[in-house]
Structure 1
Amino acid sequence: MHLGHLQHLAARRRLGAALDGLSAVFHGMTAHRDEHNCSCHWGSAEEVSLLKTPDVELEPDLLRRTWEAVDWSDHAAVLRRILPQFATALVAGRVRALSGLEEVGYSLARGRWQQWPDEQADAVSEFLHAWWVQSLTDPDAAVPAHQVFAMCAEASGTLGPWLADWEEHTGPLSDRRLAEAVGEWTYELLGDGLPWCVHWHEHDEDELRAELVGWLLGHAATRLRASDAPADLRHRIRLLGLTGEARWTDPHWPGHRY
């Protein structure tokens, strides 16, 4: 059995355990008893009452409206109520967001999950890491790795842990996921932007971009060269190390207009 197969089997087991962990830790959770929302824009009183009833499966549209809403009085409690079902839907690729999965990260950031009691915060962290690693190593992962990465970055406000996971998990599939991500990211990065929208006001977009570019110029460039990634892709990373006129007059400038 080759390394890649062992990796994705291990990642699936870890993700399954992480989902079970969420179910165990957040079993019985409910929204605050006084929670409410606008019946015109969010939903009915009957639907709010479901959030105050533990462990009842929500219809997909109600689940979507619940995690998307920005005006809960206790957003953290609402998140804890839906997390087991929400995480399962995420992994299965059943969650759609208008501007990308970073919106899911924004919802988690608003809930300040890292400040929850240790058992709860650890369960969320383990789920995020397990899902991220599964997206890198499982050929049947339902969600593209670059989308999971953006969600994790927005949820946590940092790139370091997710980049460390990427460095640890090597192999042809993880390298291919890296090439796919670079292909998705370089248009925005070469325009000095971040390739996903930073919603949470406490996150520093410039700092995140600088960290990502530094990693791409270092670890990713070496790895893509070793994995024989297309030369055009490697040149786009190289261009990130140039600024101003030197970048857009380079012979390998891809002709982007901003």
Structure 2
Amino acid sequence: MKARHLLHLADRPAQRRLSAALENLAVTFRGMTARPDEHNCECHWGSAEELALLKTPDVELDPDLLRRAWQATDWTDHAAVLRRILPQFAKVLVAGRAEPLFGLEEAGSSFARGRWQQWPDDHADPVREFLHAWWVESLTDPDAVVPADQVFVMCVEASGTLGPWLADWEEQTGHLSDRRLAEAAAEWEYELLGESLPWSVGWYEHDEDKLRTELVSWLLGPGAKRLRESGASEDLQHRIRLLGLPGDDRWMDPHWPGHRY
């Protein structure tokens, strides 16, 4: 069984990279705990016994407790809680079992609240590598569990920027990566044509308008060529083209899809 698993990873370099990134998270954050004085409301968050588990290293949390831990916005030291749960949290994310209330941007906001990019390099680098490895795997592995557009949103919200993730997309030039773009564009075009970002920005330091403008610019530039190569329908290509037109011209265009906002 192990030999077959290793052979499978050898055939899938993105999976191999992701597996190594998950293992690195486990090694890096082994032994981490929440602060000894960390607290939360028993009525709304959970029991004292559950809180004690966050202060105990390397004990697996049940799925509901893990979810409450990463979703809570009122920890005294969210970064410490995030480091405590990261090895298990990352595996749950990759397996598609995070169960956010709305979308994976919520999980990204949990990363952002932890300010992981300000951690020392020996902690921040494994997180960065995990996000990039997961993102590339979602673009290039036909068996990826979580849709690429959701992983993209998670990574953007976790980092507050589009640049690194769009750069990865540009590097992955295969047909599957192009198809993932067509799938993402189909998910995003309605909100973008309504001048909205296609996901909710949950972290106050992130600039929603800047993110939307940058995403539209990329879709009209490198993304447009990739859409043509992906075999995306002409209708979808026209909807993305309309993003480059001002309001009246957009709505009067014969290819305006009739969206109501």
TM-score normalized by structure 2?
Answer: 0.95
CA distance in 1, matches of 2:254, 2:21: 47
Match for residue 200 of structure 1 among 187, 192, 203 = 203
Equivalent residue number for residue 140 of structure 1: 143
Equivalent residue number for residue 18 of structure 2: 15
Count of residues in Structure 1 that have an aligned counterpart in Structure 2: 254
Unaligned runs of 5+ in 2: 1-7
Shift, 1:227, TM fit: 2.9
1:33 aligned to 2:8?
A: no
TM-score normalized by structure 1?
Answer: 0.96
Any conservation in 2 of the 1:57–1:85 contact (CA below 8 Å)?
A: yes
Q: Deviations over 1:98-155 (max 9, x none)?
A: 1200000111101100001111100100000000000001111111000010111011
Equivalent residue number for residue 177 of structure 1: 180
CA distance in 2, matches of 1:167, 1:71: 37
Question: For the structure 1 residues 146 and 8, does the alpha-carbon distance in structure 2 shift closer, same or farther, using more than 3 Å as the test?
Answer: farther
Shift, 1:241, TM fit: 0.2
CA distance in 1, matches of 2:260, 2:225: 28
Any conservation in 2 of the 1:7–1:137 contact (CA below 8 Å)?
A: no
CA distance in 2, matches of 1:119, 1:131: 19
Equivalent residue number for residue 3 of structure 2: none
1:89 aligned to 2:105?
A: no
Write the mapping of 1:1-258 to structure 2, written as runs, cut at 5 A.
9-258=12-261
Shift, 1:239, TM fit: 0.2
CA distance in 2, matches of 1:125, 1:220: 24
Shift, 1:7, TM fit: 10
Question: For the structure 1 residues 212 and 8, does the alpha-carbon distance in structure 2 shift closer, same or farther, using more than 3 Å as the test?
Answer: farther
Shift, 1:243, TM fit: 1.2
RMSD: 1.3
CA distance in 2, matches of 1:43, 1:144: 31
CA distance in 2, matches of 1:210, 1:179: 19
Q: Deviations over 1:41-66 (max 9, x none)?
A: 00000001000000000000000000
Shift, 1:8, TM fit: 7.2
CA distance in 2, matches of 1:251, 1:104: 39
CA distance in 2, matches of 1:116, 1:152: 17
Unaligned runs of 5+ in 1: none
Question: For the structure 1 residues 148 and 133, does the alpha-carbon distance in structure 2 shift closer, same or farther, using more than 3 Å as the test?
Answer: same
Shift, 1:224, TM fit: 1.4
Any conservation in 2 of the 1:8–1:138 contact (CA below 8 Å)?
A: no
Any conservation in 2 of the 1:31–1:78 contact (CA below 8 Å)?
A: yes
CA distance in 2, matches of 1:6, 1:237: 36
CA distance in 2, matches of 1:188, 1:173: 24
Any conservation in 2 of the 1:27–1:54 contact (CA below 8 Å)?
A: yes
